[in-house]
Amino acid sequence: MRITCPYCGTRDVVEFTYQGDATVTRPDPASTDQAAWNAYVYDRANPAGKHSELWQHSGGCRAHLVVERDTVSHVITSVAFAGIKPNPARTTTPKRKSPARKAATRGKAAS
């Protein structure tokens, strides 16, 4: 797998470090909502298909990146610097997937 860093260009994946799911939002640090913290730490959608994730170009320019990657085909559709533009995926409140959404995702992955 190769990732095209917006600064360095296309590089091998060994230069990058996976930094986790880019769709989760940390609750307010002052929050004592155990359910929200539990969801932030443990709940992941694990989709078979398009996924937004954080990578760091640790063996290069060290920039943090938001990578849109298909977890089935490993096709990368977009790479952007993290934190430069507000990423709508990261500003939404994390929600557990409703059964309807789950079904829709499953349908998309199968097609």
How far apart CA 11 and CA 13 sit, in angstroms, is 6
Asked if residue 60 binds another protein (CB under 8 A), the reply is: yes
CB of 65 to another protein, least distance (A): 11
Asked if residue 14 binds another protein (CB under 8 A), the reply is: yes
CB of 63 to another protein, least distance (A): 6
Cβ-based neighbours of 81, under 8 Å, separated by 6 or more:
6, 7, 63, 64, 65, 66
Which helix (H) or strand (E) segment holds residue 99: the answer is helix 99-110
CB of 25 to another protein, least distance (A): 22
Asked if residue 80 binds another protein (CB under 8 A), the reply is: no
Asked if residue 62 binds another protein (CB under 8 A), the reply is: yes
